[in-house]
C-alpha cells in the first residue's frame, strides 16, 4: 500500500479531553489494535464512529467528524502515539498488514 493511498488515515482522536483516564490506559499504547464502533443512533452525529480499546471496555473518543463519513465500517485501527492526553490513530482497510512500531 502506498503512503499516499487515500484509504490510509492518520487522525487525532476527537473528544479525548472528556476521557483522559481512558486514554492513559495501557490498552491504548502505541501499536495496539483498537476497535472502531459506528454509532448510527448518536443524537449529535449519525456518522459518529467511536474509538475503543480492542476489548471495547474503554472509549478514547471519536474519529474526527470530517473523516467519519468516509469510513466503510470494515476498517481496522491501531494506536500510533500518545502525547499527554492526545491520541493519534492509524486507520487502514480491513485485511491490511500493520507492523509494530520500533522501540527507540
- Taking residues 58-80, report their average pLDDT: 95
| Overall fold of domain 9-92 | Alpha-Beta Plaits (3.30.70)
Query: Residue 84 — very low, low, confident or very high, per pLDDT cuts 50/70/90?
Result: confident
Q: Please report the pLDDT score of residue 95 as a whole number.
A: 86
DSSP string, 11-53: EEPBTGGG-HHHHTSGGGSTT-EEEEEE-TT-SS-TT-EEEEE
User: Which pTM value belongs to this model?
Assistant: 0.89
Is a pLDDT exceeding 90 seen at residue 97?
no
- Taking residues 31-50, report their average pLDDT: 96
Q: How far apart are CA 1 and CA 22, in angstroms?
A: 31
Domain ranges of the chain: 9-92
Q: Please report the pLDDT score of residue 67 as a whole number.
A: 96
Is a pLDDT exceeding 90 seen at residue 29?
yes
Q: Which of 20-24, 39-43, 81-85, 96-100 tops mean pLDDT?
A: 39-43
Amino acid at each position: 500500500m502506498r503512503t499516499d493511498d487515500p484509504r490510509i488515515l492518520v487522525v487525532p482522536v476527537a473528544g479525548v479531553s472528556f476521557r483522559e483516564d481512558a486514554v492513559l490506559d495501557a490498552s491504548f499504547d502505541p501499536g495496539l489494535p483498537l476497535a472502531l464502533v459506528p454509532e448510527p443512533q448518536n443524537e449529535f452525529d449519525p456518522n459518529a464512529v467511536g474509538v475503543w480499546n480492542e476489548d471495547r471496555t474503554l472509549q478514547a473518543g471519536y474519529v474526527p467528524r470530517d473523516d467519519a463519513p468516509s469510513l466503510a465500517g470494515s476498517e481496522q485501527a491501531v494506536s500510533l502515539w500518545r502525547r499527554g492526553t492526545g491520541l493519534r490513530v492509524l486507520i487502514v482497510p480491513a485485511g491490511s498488514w500493520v507492523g509494530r512500531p520500533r522501540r527507540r
